[in-house]
């Protein structure tokens, strides 16, 4: 076993190599824009140079003169599309701002024209020659800009139902022996997946095929069908591989239906490859947030009062909101809790999911505040968390299905060498560098959604698994193949997995870290259906009671334990008894507590996520602890992060290799979120400024010399059949706070606004 492929501990699967590793490193993996099209035309977008106002006039003469131009589509001649509602209002879209509908401009970089030409180069050249006259109005850019409006999220956002509260915060805070009030701020961020936001559309008669990197092929298929006003069964979305999503491909963006409609209009397949900077405005982003935390504690560190107020920026048209107070009010035991989330409306595009949408900004505030409280109490920050560790959700009183937060802190502290930390700030250094150690908790809700799957078994053990899941780089192919192999008792090499195609049985969005739990539970269930059929065939009908027949060989326990008390399958014998060539089963799985309409919604491309704090009698989260070392150059004030150590517990780890990779990527992104990533906004015109990868900084290898991931054994029998908690979004939460806590330790300076740049350090 190597660092990259950690040996499995109890309740972990094998660290088998990625199913798609060879295809990816040899370039055989085909992404959406690699898909061959027959005689395609190429589209290039023209996007608006103002954030608010209207288009007075287009001058298209020069553009039309470019050789190879086929069509230029603007709001004046665009095909009519039906509206799509926001995903959280029963629709599919990530924004209700529908470009090319009118002359109105609602945000910077809105699509205002599509040039179609014989080549990509001709389309781009013509797009550069499109002249636009605007009547610009003064836009409101962000917090504090004139013209924004602010209101509570509750009541306006379908994503946010309730501000969690319990006890009497005001009274308890007043009476608290130790108090902390602090404000925090996080910036706008963009996902910037490697794969650009491409879309190809090809019609075959009335049938449409869309090649587009998507985290939700059923959502996209149904959404585009709705916008085009056609039957969803005539639309197929294909993307066997997705070049990174991070939430940006979770809901439908306006570009897809437009390209589909134009392809129909010009009667040619169309390929759209937008530029990197267009990606900043034609999809979503993580909104900037502000927070005020109030903590009251007894002198011995027990929390008695906690209040978290958060504000998030959204567009004028949509009340998008992440509302992370649902997590921060439940993380620690505290009898008096209050919270409020509000939304600030500005002239911006609608924000959307970005890896751990609620937890990244909201835990930054809480986990920074806890560190500040530890300083006030003169207490080790790990001990402060131990004192306030919870076994129950403090808001609703429900028990956690499992919670290994302190075990994670202890393991990570040991690996990191936390005991070597001298508690005083400004007390550690090495030559030119001041050294700081910091830590923070991470957590992420355990979510599940209904999923279907089809499995076909051949007599020789060859197995084909079909499920419209998504390989966004997480290792989905691999863990699904492992699940089927284990459950059917066939060699892993014999399992073929087909995903990323909306003609396959529906799976939920690859979001909210629900995929592994949902898709593997469905695959496991369908494999059990096959076992059942085979077992029935080989078992004399009178040898067991019907009831027992149903259950023998089908253990409800996690799949590692399948087989323990079960009868091994003798596949060939069973096939001979059945007298068939293949056994194929289709099944639909849903988690406990899923709403009545779950399966219908699943086929309609609407997700019904359950879990987290919304379970009936319990609350389910994955936990972790992150420790970082920062170094600050005393001359240049450059901030570097040579070591990141995280310990995580997330139920069954299906594959320690792919899980480690997820968590490692998370830690790196967490660091990036604290020190590098921020989309800068020109407040005068509400436009994004650093919309390219030279200026929107993400870490390079030299920035992450040491990353260590520890996975703890944890068994949880209350969450889903596979016993897995989602961990894709666990690694990058809390890191931002750990870094600021370490900066405080190094310098004595508390920084409450991200990202931290060298000019924010005063020595």
In the complex, least distance from residue 740 CB atom to other proteins, rounded to whole angstroms: 16
Per-residue CA distances from 100 to 55, 351, 596, 659, 744 (Å): 11, 20, 38, 42, 49
In the complex, least distance from residue 682 CB atom to other proteins, rounded to whole angstroms: 5
Q: Which is nearer to other proteins, 335 or 699 (CB)?
A: 699
Q: Which is nearer to other proteins, 129 or 403 (CB)?
A: 129
Q: Which is nearer to other proteins, 502 or 747 (CB)?
A: 747
Q: Which is nearer to other proteins, 127 or 490 (CB)?
A: 127
In the complex, least distance from residue 113 CB atom to other proteins, rounded to whole angstroms: 13
Q: Both tokens of residue 471?
A: 């390989």
Q: Tell the residue number behind the tokens 């910091």, with chain if given.
A: 438
In the complex, least distance from residue 635 CB atom to other proteins, rounded to whole angstroms: 4
Which residues on adjacent β-strands are paired with residue 151?
Answer: 343
Specify the DSSP class assigned to residue 345.
E
In the complex, least distance from residue 125 CB atom to other proteins, rounded to whole angstroms: 9
Query: What's 425-441 look like in SS3?
Result: CCCCEECCEEEEEEEEE
Q: Both tokens of residue 741?
A: 């806590």
Q: Which of 466, 584, 729, 762 is catalytic?
A: 729
Q: Both tokens of residue 642?
A: 């040579």
Please check whether residue 251 is in contact with residue 352, taking contact to mean a CB–CB distance below 8 angstroms: yes
Please check whether residue 167 is in contact with residue 176, taking contact to mean a CB–CB distance below 8 angstroms: no
Q: Both tokens of residue 36?
A: 């061959």
Q: Which is nearer to other proteins, 46 or 295 (CB)?
A: 46
Distance (Å, whole) CA 167 – CA 339: 12
In the complex, least distance from residue 705 CB atom to other proteins, rounded to whole angstroms: 9
Distance (Å, whole) CA 349 – CA 688: 11
Specify the DSSP class assigned to residue 141.
-
Upper half-sphere CA count for residue 654 (Cβ side, 13 Å): 36
Query: CA angle, 167 as apex, 162 and 172 as ends, to 5°?
Result: 125
Distance (Å, whole) CA 520 – CA 239: 20
In 3D space, the residue among 451, 424, 446, 419 whose CA is nearest the CA of residue 435 turns out to be 424
CB neighbour class for 298 (10 Å; exposed up to 12, middle 13-18, buried from 19): middle
Residue 238 backbone dihedrals phi, psi, to 5 degrees: -125, 130
Handedness of CA 418, 419, 424, 429 (dihedral sign): negative
Q: Which is nearer to other proteins, 68 or 399 (CB)?
A: 68
Distance (Å, whole) CA 91 – CA 93: 6
Q: Which is nearer to other proteins, 276 or 462 (CB)?
A: 276
Q: Give residue 600's Cα distance to chain centre.
A: 24
Q: Which is nearer to other proteins, 49 or 175 (CB)?
A: 49
In the complex, least distance from residue 355 CB atom to other proteins, rounded to whole angstroms: 20
Q: Which is nearer to other proteins, 71 or 638 (CB)?
A: 638
In the complex, least distance from residue 636 CB atom to other proteins, rounded to whole angstroms: 4
Going by DSSP bridges, is the β-strand pair 495-498/463-466 parallel, antiparallel, or unpaired?
A: parallel
In the complex, least distance from residue 72 CB atom to other proteins, rounded to whole angstroms: 17
In the complex, least distance from residue 20 CB atom to other proteins, rounded to whole angstroms: 25
Q: Which is nearer to other proteins, 159 or 760 (CB)?
A: 760
Which residues are CB-neighbours of 629 under 8 A, at least 6 positions away? Answer: 416, 435, 436, 437, 641, 642, 643, 742
Residue 660 backbone dihedrals phi, psi, to 5 degrees: -60, -40
Tell me if the bond preceding 755 is cis, omega within 30° of 0.
Answer: yes
Q: Is 585 a catalytic residue?
A: no
In the complex, least distance from residue 64 CB atom to other proteins, rounded to whole angstroms: 17
Which residues are CB-neighbours of 233 under 8 A, at least 6 positions away? Answer: none
Distance (Å, whole) CA 546 – CA 536: 10
Q: Which is nearer to other proteins, 378 or 701 (CB)?
A: 701
CB burial string 135-163: b at 16+ within 10 A, e below: eeeebbbbbebeebeeeebbeebebbeeb
Which residues are CB-neighbours of 224 under 8 A, at least 6 positions away? Answer: 208, 210, 235, 237, 252, 256, 257, 260
Task: Using only the alpha carbons of the chain, give its radius of gyration.
Answer: 27
Distance (Å, whole) CA 669 – CA 642: 14
Upper half-sphere CA count for residue 628 (Cβ side, 13 Å): 36
- Binding residues for other proteins, rule: CB under 8 A, are 49, 124, 128, 277, 635-638, 640, 675-676, 680-682, 684, 689-690, 694-695, 697, 699-703, 757-759
- Which residues are marked as active site? 729
């Amino acid at each position: 076993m190597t660092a990259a492929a950690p040996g499995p501990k109890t309740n972990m699967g094998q660290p088998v190599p990625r199913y798609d590793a060879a295809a990816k490193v040899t370039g055989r993996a085909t992404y959406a824009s690699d898909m061959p099209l027959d005689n395609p035309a190429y589209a290039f977008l023209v996007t608006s140079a103002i954030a608010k106002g209207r288009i007075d006039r287009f001058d298209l003469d020069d553009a039309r003169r470019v050789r190879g131009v086929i069509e230029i589509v603007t709001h004046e001649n665009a095909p009519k599309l039906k509206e799509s509602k926001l995903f959280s209002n029963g629709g599919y879209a990530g924004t209700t701002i529908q470009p090319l509908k009118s002359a109105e401009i609602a945000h910077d970089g809105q699509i205002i024209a599509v040039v179609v030409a014989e080549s990509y180069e001709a389309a781009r050249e013509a797009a550069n020659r499109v002249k636009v006259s605007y009547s610009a109005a003064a836009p409101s850019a962000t917090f504090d800009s004139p013209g924004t409006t602010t209101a509570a999220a509750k009541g306006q956002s379908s994503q946010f139902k309730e501000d969690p509260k319990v006890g009497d915060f005001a009274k308890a805070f007043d009476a608290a022996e130790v108090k902390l009030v602090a404000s925090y701020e996080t910036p706008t961020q963009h996902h910037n997946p490697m794969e650009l936001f491409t879309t190809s559309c090809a019609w075959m008669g009335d049938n449409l095929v869309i090649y587009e990197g998507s985290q939700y092929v059923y959502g996209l298929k149904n959404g585009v069908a709705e916008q085009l006003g056609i039957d969803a069964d005539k639309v197929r979305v294909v993307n066997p591989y997705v070049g990174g999503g991070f939430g940006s491909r979770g809901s439908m963006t306006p570009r897809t239906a437009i390209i589909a409609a134009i392809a129909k209009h010009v009667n040619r397949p169309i390929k759209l490859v937008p530029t990197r900077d267009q990606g900043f405005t034609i999809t979503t982003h993580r909104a900037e947030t502000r927070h005020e935390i109030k903590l009251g504690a007894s002198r011995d560190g027990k929390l008695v009062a906690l209040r978290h107020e958060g504000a998030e920026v959204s567009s004028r048209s949509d009340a998008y909101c992440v509302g992370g107070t649902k997590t921060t009010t439940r993380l620690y035991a505290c009898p008096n809790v209050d919270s409020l989330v509000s939304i600030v409306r500005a002239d911006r595009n609608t924000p959307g999911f970005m890896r751990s949408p609620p937890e990244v900004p909201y835990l930054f505030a809480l986990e920074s505040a806890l560190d500040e409280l530890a300083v006030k109490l003169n207490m080790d920050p790990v001990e402060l968390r131990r004192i306030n560790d919870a076994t129950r959700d403090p808001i609703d009183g429900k028990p956690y299905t499992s919670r290994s937060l302190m075990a994670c802190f202890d393991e990570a502290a040991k690996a990191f060498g936390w005991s070597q930390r001298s508690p005083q700030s400004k007390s550690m250094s090495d030559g030119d560098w001041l050294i700081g150690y910091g830590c923070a908790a991470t957590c992420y809700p355990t979510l599940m959604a209904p999923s279907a799957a089809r499995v076909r078994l051949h007599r020789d053990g060859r197995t084909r698994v079909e499920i419209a899941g998504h390989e966004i780089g997480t290792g989905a192919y691999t863990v699904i193949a492992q699940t089927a192999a284990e459950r059917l008792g066939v060699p892993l090499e014999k399992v073929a997995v087909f995903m990323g195609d909306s003609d396959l049985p529906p799976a939920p969005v690859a979001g909210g870290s629900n995929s592994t739990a949902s898709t593997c539970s469905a695959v496991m269930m369908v494999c059990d259906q096959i076992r059942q059929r085979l077992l029935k065939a080989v078992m004399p009908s009178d040898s067991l009671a019907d009831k027992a027949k149903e259950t023998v060989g089908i253990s409800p326990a996690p799949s590692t334990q399948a087989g323990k008390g079960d009868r091994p399958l003798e596949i060939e014998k069973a096939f001979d008894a059945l007298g068939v060539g293949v056994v194929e089963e289709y099944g639909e799985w849903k988690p406990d507590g899923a709403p009545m309409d779950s399966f219908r919604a699943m086929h309609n491309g609407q997700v019904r996520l359950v879990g987290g704090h919304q379970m009936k009698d319990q609350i389910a989260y994955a936990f972790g602890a992150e420790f970082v070392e920062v170094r600050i150059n005393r001359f240049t004030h450059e901030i570097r992060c040579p070591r990141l150590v995280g310990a995580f517990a997330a139920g069954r780890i299906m594959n320690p290799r792919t899980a480690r990779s997820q968590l490692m990527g998370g830690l790196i992104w967490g660091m990036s979120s604290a020190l590098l990533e921020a989309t800068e906004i020109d407040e005068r015109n509400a436009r994004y400024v650093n919309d390219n990868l030279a200026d929107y900084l993400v870490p390079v290898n030299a920035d992450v010399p040491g990353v260590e991931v520890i996975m703890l054994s944890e068994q949880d029998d209350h969450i889903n059949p596979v016993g897995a908690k989602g961990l894709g979004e666990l690694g990058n939460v809390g890191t931002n706070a750990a870094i600021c806590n370490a900066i405080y330790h190094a310098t004595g300076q508390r920084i409450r606004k991200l990202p931290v740049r060298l000019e924010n350090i005063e020595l």
